[in-house]
Structure 1
Amino acid sequence: MKNMFASAFIATSLFVAGAAHYAHAASNDDNIPAAAPAIAAAVAKIADGKADVNGVRYHYLLAQGKPGAAVVVLLHGWASTSYMWRYVMPQLVARGYTVLAPDLRGLGDTSKPATGYEKANIADDIRMLVAKLNLDPHINLVGHDMGGMVAYAYAAQHPDEVRTLAILDVPLPGIEPWDQLIQTPRTWHFRFYSVQDVPEMLIAGRELEYLKWFHHSEAVNTRAFSNEAEETYAREYAMPGALRAGFEYYRAFPEDAKANREFAKTKLTMPVLGIGGSGSFGPIIGDHLRHVAAHVEALNVQGSGHWVAEEQPAVVTNALLKFLPRPQ
C-alpha cells in the first residue's frame, strides 16, 4: 500500500482549512482533537490499497490503530467517493481508531461491474473486504447517502458483527415514509437516475458542471465545495463506467425496498445514530430510523444540507466521537 491520502490531500488548501476549523472547535469541545500537527500525523498513517472481493477490485483508505483498536468503517454515497471523509477520517485516526474508507462498488477507483448494486450485495462486498484486510469483524459502521443504505443492510444481515451504526442523511428504501418521499420534489433525482441510459447520455462530458450544480442544490453551506473538491469528484465520475455504476444504485431501489421490508421485521438492537442536515432529512431521520431500530439517537445539524460531513464536519465528528465506543 502507498500513502496516497497524504500526497492527495495534506498539501491542499482543504486540509489547511479543515485543520483550522477543528482547532477552533477544540477550544470549545474537548472531543475534537485540536492541533494541526496531530491531524498531520493521523493523515500520515492513512494508506491506500486495493483488494479483490466478491468479484470486484476495491480501492480503500486504511489507517491501523493499535492492536485491539475499535474499527470504524466509513461508507460514502453518490456524487461522492472516499474523498468525502477527508475531514472526518483523520480526526478518528487521531483518536486511535482503526478506520477503513473504501470507494464503493463502481465508484472512485473501485472497479465498475455491470451488476450487483443491490445494497445487501454491496454490504457483502464490505464484509468481505473487512475480512480480507484481517480487521476485527465487530465493526462500527458509518454511512452517508447510499453508504447509509449499505450500512443498514449490513447491520440487518449481520447484527452480531455491528457494534454501532450511524446513518447520515438518507432515507431507507421501503421504510416509512419512503413511498411519500419518493413522490416529492426533494427526491426528483431518484426518479431521473432510475431511467435506463438517459442520465448517462445527458451528463457524460458535463460531469463537472452537473456535479457542481448538484452539490450546491443539495447543500446549505455551499462553501464546503471548493473548486478543488468539485474537480476531484468530476474526475472520479468521468471515469469510464462511473456514471452508469452510480445510477445503478438508484435502479436497485425496488429490490432494496423489498429486502428492507423483510429486514425491518426484526428491529436492530445495537445503538443507532441518525445524523441529518436541517435543510435535508435532519428533521425526520430519527423517527424514520425508529421503524428499523430500537435504540436511536438523532441529530439535526443546523447550517447543513445533505452533505453533512463536508458542510459541518466538526459537528459530525463531534457527534461520532461521543457515539462511538472508546477506541480501545
Structure 2
Amino acid sequence: MRLSLLSGFLVATLAAAPSTSANAPSSDMPPGQLTDLSARIVDGKADVNGVVYHYLLAVGGPKTVVLLHGWGTTSYMWRFVMPQLVARGYTVLAPDLRGLGDTAKPATGYEKASIAEDIRALVNQLNLGPVVNLVGHDMGGMVVYSYAAQHPEEVTTLAILDVPLPGIEPWNELIQGPRTWHFRFHSVRDVPEMLIAGRELEYLKWFHNAEGVNTRVFDNEADEVYGRSYAQPGALRAGFEYYRAFPRDEEQNKAFAKHKLTMPVLGISGSGGLGSMYEDHLRHVAENVRAVVVEGSGHWVPEEQPAAVTKALIEFLPPAY
C-alpha cells in the first residue's frame, strides 16, 4: 500500500470517520494535528539480511513499538492501532513479514527465530533500537517471542495476540483440534497452493470470517487489500512456509523456554479465540504475565476489536516520554 493511501487511512481512522470500522478507536485531535501526523508516516523499503523488507514507520518519541502482523494479513492490519500509538508519542514500526505483503518472497528462512533476526536487523538499520517494545499477532506473535527470547536485554515489553507458541504446552493438544485444521492443511507441501491459486480473495474472505466472531468484520476494502497481496507471485507459498517451519519452531521454542522471560508480557486473546487459557499458556515462557480477554472478538483481535486492543496496549506500554 503506497504512502498516499496509507496517510488517508490514518487521518480517517484518527478522526473516526464514518467509513472506518465501527470498532475503530476515536480521537479528539484537531484536523491540523491529524494532517501533521499523516505527514510523518514513511512507507519504505530496506535490504535486511538479503531480503528487501517493506515497512511503515512513524517517528515520534524515544520509545519504539514494533507491530508484527500474521498470516492472512499484512501491515495493513494495524491501520486502526498504529495511528493511535503514534498520536500518543510513540515511534511505531510496522513491517510486512518475510514473504508477505510488499516484502520480498525468498524460498527459505521462515523459522520464526530467523525472521526475528530480520526484524531486529531492520530495527537497528533504521536506528530505532536497540531497545524496543514488541507487539505481534498470529505468526507475528511467534516472531516477537523468538525475538525476546534471543535478545531479552533489548526488549522492554512484549505483547502477543491470540496465537499459541509452537512446542509450548498445550501446543500438541491445540494442533489436534478442529479450530487449527488449517495448521495441518497449510503445512502440506504444494497442495494448498494448487487448490487456492487464482482464488486467493475467495479463500481469505471465507477464512477471515470463519475465524472471527463479528460477521463481515473484514469489509470489502480490506478483503481486496489482502486478496491482492496474497495473489502476488510467491505469496501463497511464502505464507504456507510459516506453517511448514513449525517443527523447527517447536525445537527452538522448547530450548528458549528453559530460560523464562523476565520483562513484562501481555497476552491479548479474543473470547472466541484462545480466550482465558492464554495466560496459563504464556506463563510457561515468562515470569511476569498479564492477560486481557477481549469480548466480542475471535482470532483477528486488532481487526475485530481495535479499540480494545489499543486500550490494552496503551495501559501496558511504558510512557512514550
TM tier, shorter chain? over 0.9
| Cα distance, 1:189 vs structure 2 | 0.1
Contact conserved, 1:5 with 1:46, CA < 8 A, in 2? no
Report the secondary structure of 1:249's partner residue: helix
**CA RMSD across the alignment:** 2.0
| Cα distance, 1:133 vs structure 2 | 0.4
Look up the match of 1:29: none
Alignment of 1:229-240 (within 5 A): 229-240=222-233
Contact conserved, 1:194 with 1:251, CA < 8 A, in 2? yes
* Amino acid corresponding to residue 3 of structure 1 in structure 2: L
Distance 1:35 1:13, change over 3 A: closer
Among 61, 65, 71, the alignment partner of 2:64 is: 71
Q: Deviations over 1:174-232 (max 9, x none)?
A: 00000000000010000000000000000000011100000000011134210010010
Cα separation, 2, equivalents of 1:222 and 1:36: 32
TM-score (norm 2): 0.94
Alignment of 1:37-116 (within 5 A): 37=31, 38-66=33-61, 69-116=62-109
* Amino acid corresponding to residue 53 of structure 2 in structure 1: Y
Distance 1:321 1:5, change over 3 A: farther
Cα separation, 2, equivalents of 1:11 and 1:93: 12
User: Would you say 1:193 and 2:186 are equivalent positions?
Assistant: yes
| Cα distance, 1:131 vs structure 2 | 0.7
Look up the match of 2:257: 264
Q: Deviations over 1:264-294 (max 9, x none)?
A: 0000000000000000112211110000000
* Amino acid corresponding to residue 294 of structure 1 in structure 2: E
| Cα distance, 1:46 vs structure 2 | 1.3
Contact conserved, 2:59 with 2:92, CA < 8 A, in 1? yes
Q: Deviations over 1:36-68 (max 9, x none)?
A: 7355543332111000011100000000014xx
Q: Which runs of 5+ in 1 are unaligned?
A: 27-32
Look up the match of 1:3: 3
| Cα distance, 1:150 vs structure 2 | 0.1
Look up the match of 2:269: 276
Report the secondary structure of 2:272's partner residue: coil
Contact conserved, 1:220 with 1:303, CA < 8 A, in 2? yes
Cα separation, 2, equivalents of 1:116 and 1:314: 34
* Amino acid corresponding to residue 65 of structure 1 in structure 2: G
Distance 1:11 1:173, change over 3 A: same
Contact conserved, 1:278 with 1:301, CA < 8 A, in 2? yes
Look up the match of 1:16: 17
Among 13, 29, 33, the alignment partner of 1:35 is: 29
Look up the match of 1:163: 156
* Amino acid corresponding to residue 143 of structure 1 in structure 2: G
Look up the match of 1:312: 305
TM-score (norm 1): 0.92
Contact conserved, 2:23 with 2:305, CA < 8 A, in 1? no
Contact conserved, 2:41 with 2:58, CA < 8 A, in 1? yes
Cα separation, 2, equivalents of 1:41 and 1:307: 30
Report the secondary structure of 1:284's partner residue: helix
Look up the match of 2:244: 251
Distance 1:131 1:219, change over 3 A: same
| Cα distance, 1:8 vs structure 2 | 5.9
Alignment of 1:95-244 (within 5 A): 95-244=88-237
When the two structures are aligned, how many residues end up with a matched partner? Answer: 318
Report the secondary structure of 2:228's partner residue: helix
| Cα distance, 1:4 vs structure 2 | 3.8
